[in-house]
């Protein structure tokens, strides 16, 4: 056997493969830790299979832009970090899996003291291979008014190390060698998944926990524990309304209101709902066990339904209609005005075209253009609009892969209980977030525009 350098070259696995391993391992871990999530995932799979059998038109759209065999797999998770160095290291970790920061979200507008980004694949083929993303929030201690409490929280966070030696070794190995072998990737994934495990032992006393909880439940969740436990995973439902009505069959209690746009024939952006966070006992460093009234609630199961990505113009119309709806009827967490809100949002959103061709004509959404099978003749130098009008190309909605600040905050609020004593005002600081991250966040509109532009170029080249 040859001992030449070429024969000893280690074959690297792709970033997409590592991400797929990671998302699968995360799902397996969370199923064990939160059995209700496993029941929810099974429910989504059954609902999606039924949908795919009956909704042939939508299935044809999906086939053009997605890998429908993996539709029911978990699509995202969410974590909350406590300090800038944790965010910077997490960026390096996710990069090894082909996940990059996209978008900036200021959740202080909804009385949640964090700002966030989504680590996700960017290239179209990578998204198709595995779209798993992690919504990652950084605690903003500067928004806490109580200086003494803020300093205590900061001291605790500065002392903790959520990663450990093995994680750092594997990250350095991957960076130095521009990737990992299959064996190394298994070790890497196992090490990273351990970062997100649940710790029932708190890192603080019960007295300090109570103070943090009073300031804001999310502050208590981030500061009190040894690591950033994954607080939810999210499979994708094709009919979120059906699954919402069946969540109770899993033994969990569903969030009252589905966040996002109303039910539509042509889905847009993102709709989300969840079952309420489970209550879990925690042991404090002084040896006390939490009483029932202080049981910590942070981890839950969520589902999402994704639709067409909207242009800046479309997003502007969406925001305008959502604000109009909420000025007339704001959804209450207890669901007491659910019927009123559902009727109101449906009526207001009737102003948003529920037809893909109309959305394309009005430049409200992003679409993938593709050549119609079996058709080749066209007028020389036709524009993409002429080709579309002649039936020579088709359009399919590009799936929205990002998040809505209002939806994200709404899920947070419904699962954090009372919002604490302090009322946060809108306070975006993308510059500071990117400084802590160690990189700029990508603009989601540019990413969708690139996908659309590339598909148009391919069609024009075909008919040239």
Provide the pLDDT confidence category of residue 293 given band limits of 50, 70 and 90: very low
Q: Is the pLDDT of residue 412 over 80?
A: no
Per-residue pLDDT tens digits for 339-371: 899 999 999 999 999 999 999 999 999 999 999
pLDDT value for 2: 42
Least confident of 48-62, 335-349, 413-427: 413-427
Say which CATH class 10-308+421-441 falls into.
alpha beta
The three-state (H, E, C) secondary structure of the chain, written as one string:
CCCCHHHHCCCCECHHHHHHHHHHHHHHHHHHHCHHHHHHHHHHHHHHHHHHHHCHHHHHHHHHHCCHHHCCCEEEEEEEECCHHHHHHHHHHHHHCCCEEEEEEEHHHHCCCEEEEEEECCCHHHHHHCCCEEEEEEECHHHCCCHHHHHHHHHHHHHCCCCHHHHHHHHHHHHHCCCECHHHHHHHHHHHHHHCCCCCEECCCHHHHHHHHHHCHHHHHHHCECCCCCCEEEEECCCHHHHHHHHHHHCCCECCCCECCCCCCCCECEEEEEECCCEECCECCCCCECCHHHCEECCEEEEEEECECECHHHHHHHHHHHHHHHHHCCCCCCCCCHHHHHHHHHHHHHHCCCCHHHHHHCCCECEEEEECCCCCCCCCCCCHHHHHHCCCEEEEECECCCCCHHHHHHHHHHHHCCCCCCCCCCCCCHHHHHHHHCCCCECHHHHHHHHHHHHHHHHHHHCC
Q: Is the pLDDT of residue 288 over 60?
A: no
* Mean pLDDT computed over 430-434: 95
pLDDT value for 58: 77
* Mean pLDDT computed over 424-434: 81
Provide the pLDDT confidence category of residue 6 given band limits of 50, 70 and 90: very low
pLDDT value for 5: 42
pLDDT value for 231: 85
pLDDT value for 294: 58
pTM, rounded to two decimals: 0.88
pLDDT value for 124: 84
Per-residue pLDDT tens digits for 90-139: 999 999 999 999 999 988 877 788 999 999 999 888 988 889 999 999 99
Per-residue pLDDT tens digits for 235-257: 999 999 999 999 988 888 888 88
pLDDT value for 406: 59
- State the chain's mean pLDDT as an integer: 86
| Domain residue ranges in the chain | 10-308+421-441
């Amino acid at each position: 056997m040859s001992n030449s350098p070429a024969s000893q070259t280690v074959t690297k696995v792709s970033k997409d493969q590592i991400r797929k391993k990671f998302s699968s391992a995360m799902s397996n871990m969370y199923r064990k830790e939160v059995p209700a999530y496993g029941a929810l995932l099974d429910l989504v799979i059954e609902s999606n299979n039924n949908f795919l059998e009956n909704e042939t038109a939508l299935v044809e759209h999906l086939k053009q832009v997605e890998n429908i065999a993996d539709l029911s797999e978990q699509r995202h998770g969410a974590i909350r970090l406590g300090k800038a160095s944790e965010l910077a290291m997490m960026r390096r970790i996710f990069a090894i899996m082909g996940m990059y920061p996209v978008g900036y979200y200021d959740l202080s507008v909804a009385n949640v003291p964090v700002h966030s980004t989504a680590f996700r694949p960017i290239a179209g083929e990578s998204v198709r291979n595995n779209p798993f993303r992690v919504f990652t929030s950084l605690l903003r201690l500067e928004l806490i008014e109580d200086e003494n409490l803020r300093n205590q929280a900061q001291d605790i966070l500065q002392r903790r190390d959520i990663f450990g030696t093995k994680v750092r070794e594997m990250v350095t190995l991957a960076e130095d060698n521009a990737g990992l072998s299959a064996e190394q990737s298994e070790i890497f994934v196992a090490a990273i998944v351990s970062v997100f495990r649940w710790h029932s032992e708190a890192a603080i006393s019960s007295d300090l926990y109570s103070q943090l909880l009073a300031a804001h439940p999310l502050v208590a969740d981030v500061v009190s524990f040894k690591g950033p436990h994954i607080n939810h995973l999210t499979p994708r439902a094709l009919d979120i309304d059906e699954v919402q009505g069946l969540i109770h069959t899993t033994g969990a209690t569903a969030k009252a209101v589905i966040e996002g746009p109303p039910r539509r024939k042509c889905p847009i952006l993102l709709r989300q709902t969840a079952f309420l966070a489970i209550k879990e006992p925690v042991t404090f460093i002084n040896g006390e066990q939490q009483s029932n009234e202080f049981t910590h609630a942070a981890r839950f199961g969520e589902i999402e339904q994704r639709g067409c990505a909207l242009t800046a113009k479309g997003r502007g119309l969406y925001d305008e209609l959502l604000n109009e709806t909420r000025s007339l009827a704001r959804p209450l967490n207890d669901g007491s005005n659910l019927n009123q809100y559902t009727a109101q949002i449906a009526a207001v959103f009737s102003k948003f075209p529920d037809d893909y061709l109309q959305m394309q004509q009005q430049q409200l959404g992003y679409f993938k253009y593709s050549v119609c099978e079996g058709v080749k003749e066209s007028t020389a130098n036709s524009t993409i609009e002429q080709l579309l009008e002649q039936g020579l190309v088709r359009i399919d909605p590009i799936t929205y892969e990002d998040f809505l600040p209002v939806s994200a905050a709404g899920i947070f609020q419904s699962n954090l209980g009372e919002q604490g004593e302090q009322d946060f005002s809108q306070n975006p600081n993308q510059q500071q977030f990117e400084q802590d991250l160690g990189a700029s966040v990508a603009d989601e509109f540019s990413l969708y525009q690139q996908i659309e532009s590339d598909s148009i170029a391919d069609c024009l080249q075909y008919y040239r």
